[in-house]
Amino acid sequence: MRVLVIGSGAREHALVLALRRDPAVSALYAAPGNAGIAQHARIRPVDPSSGEAVVALATDLAADLVVIGPEVPLVLGVADAVRAAGIACFGPSADAARIEGSKAFAKDVMSAAGVRTAHSEIVDNPADLDAALDRFGPTWVVKDDGLAAGKGVVVTADRSAARDHGAELLENGHPVLLESFLDGPEVSLFCLVDGETVVPLLPAQDHKRVGDGDTGPNTGGMGAYTPLPWLPEETATAIVEDVVKPVAAELVRRGSPFSGLLYAGLAIGSAGPAVVEFNCRFGDPETQAVLALLESPLGELLNATATGTLAKVDAPRWHDGAAVAVVVAAENYPDRPRIGDVITGAGDGATDESAAVLHAGTAQREDGALVSAGGRVLSVVGVGADLAEARVHAYDRVAAIKLPGSHYRTDIGLAAVENRI
């Protein structure tokens, strides 16, 4: 099977590494990829948001399967274009990707499916902002009602900070989504979905705030771990049965069947799980941890999802133990990051048994030096017999990396190790 992965982050690096372990994958390409992915797959330039360009590349490479990593191409209909060209594609149609691309659509689907989620209101007129804020909070949850890579979210007990964020979004022409605050630890549950067939992967937890102890602004995700020792098996089962399956069925009922990875982000409160958001693709950085423990061939699972035969493949098998992904971010991230700094100690893309350095915002300079090229620069993934050991492996590897001005959280997975969740 010839596979083309679309995207250029550490999530796509993790997908490429897992696909490379699948003996059925005979040729592996990534576009546009990055300096780390280039060690494991042949990379090609492409505009990932252009269906025409992705189809032309997939055709040129005689790809049997195209795997689309990021949400923007999916929301723009790139998967539809690939399928229309007769090539199998892992990733939902633009119609189904509205579960992430349109908060209003997602809320409507959840309501029809009887799924618990936050109460919400959309504000598109600055004159309505104050009255709407009075109907929420504290705590206020103020979101950009569009795709914002996690950075458009402010969760705060400070009304003026909530107001400032809402006003800034409106000034920039973005409608604001206000949501009631959902208490409790968060879970990211990724499910392969092919119509009404739902196959869960290992539950993971992301750490969205930039600083240790969940302080500072929200980011795209500063680290993740899996599995979750504090999450009862029956709760994970309930999420699949009572949340993901009803949503998948509702999408089928609406004539927008989902095919790809449906990511349920939930808060586990005292009244049970409630949905914070759905995403239409693998999450970043959770994927880096989850795929590190996957024993089954990834290509087979993705291809079965893409070709409507997911119900016929065996459930995924997992290695024992745990995995922890730690994001190394550039100076000033999540604000405008400084780029172009030389990175040393990241290795040459080789991985060992206990740790791997996955690339996100990296580039190879003309003189061969590896330099930072984005906010989240690297994801370092440690695996171990348990979470504590996986953390040691991840942080030992992080310590060997030098990037001026960079920062990372030191507490990824720590609350779970110390039974504080």
Binding mask 145-184 for ligand GLY (x = CB under 6 A): -----x----------------------------------
Tell whether residue 206 is a contact of ligand GLY (CB under 6 A). yes
Tell whether residue 337 is a contact of ligand GLY (CB under 6 A). no
Among 256, 279, 288, 379, binds ligand GLY (CB under 6 A): 279
Max Cα distance, the chain (Å): 59
CB of 11 to ligand GLY, least distance (A): 8
**CB-nearer residue toward ligand GLY: 63 or 394:** 394
**CB-nearer residue toward ligand GLY: 128 or 186:** 186
CA distance 412 to 400: 18
> By the 8 A CB rule, do 31 and 59 touch?
no
Crossing angle, helix 94-101 and helix 245-253, to 10 degrees? 130
Tokens of 54: 């992705």
Tell whether residue 200 is a contact of ligand GLY (CB under 6 A). no
CB of 364 to ligand GLY, least distance (A): 26
Tell whether residue 203 is a contact of ligand GLY (CB under 6 A). no
Binding mask 215-254 for ligand GLY (x = CB under 6 A): ------x---------------------------------
CB of 55 to ligand GLY, least distance (A): 26
Tell whether residue 341 is a contact of ligand GLY (CB under 6 A). no
Q: State whether residue 189 is helix, strand or coil.
A: strand
Tell whether residue 283 is a contact of ligand GLY (CB under 6 A). yes
Q: State whether residue 33 is helix, strand or coil.
A: coil
CB of 279 to ligand GLY, least distance (A): 5
CA distance 271 to 59: 50
**CB-nearer residue toward ligand GLY: 102 or 364:** 102
3-state secondary structure string, 297-340? CHHHHHHHHHCCCHHHCCCCCECCCEEEEEEEECCCCCCCCCCC
CB of 127 to ligand GLY, least distance (A): 32
Ordered DSSP codes for 117-171: B--EEEE-SGGGHHHHHHTS-SSEEEEESS--TTTT-EEES-HHHHHHHHHHHHH
Tell whether residue 286 is a contact of ligand GLY (CB under 6 A). yes
> By the 8 A CB rule, do 37 and 359 touch?
yes
> By the 8 A CB rule, do 176 and 118 touch?
no
Among 29-37, 279-287, 351-359, 406-414, the segment contacting ligand GLY (CB under 6 A)? 279-287
Q: Please, what is the end-to-end C-alpha distance for the chain in angstroms?
A: 42
CB of 327 to ligand GLY, least distance (A): 10
CA distance 402 to 30: 27
Q: How far is CA 401 from the centre of its chain?
A: 24
CA distance 16 to 348: 15
Backbone conformation region of residue 164, classed left if phi is above 0, alpha if psi is from -120 to 50, else beta: alpha
CA distance 250 to 71: 21
CB of 286 to ligand GLY, least distance (A): 6
Q: Which residue, judged by CB position, is nearest to ligand GLY in the bound state?
A: 283
CB of 307 to ligand GLY, least distance (A): 25
CB of 100 to ligand GLY, least distance (A): 9
Among 12, 80, 194, 284, binds ligand GLY (CB under 6 A): 284
Among 13-21, 54-62, 125-133, 278-286, the segment contacting ligand GLY (CB under 6 A)? 278-286
Residues in contact with ligand GLY, counted by CB under 6 A, come to a total of: 7
**What is the binding site for ligand GLY (CB under 6 A)?**
150, 206, 221, 279, 283-284, 286
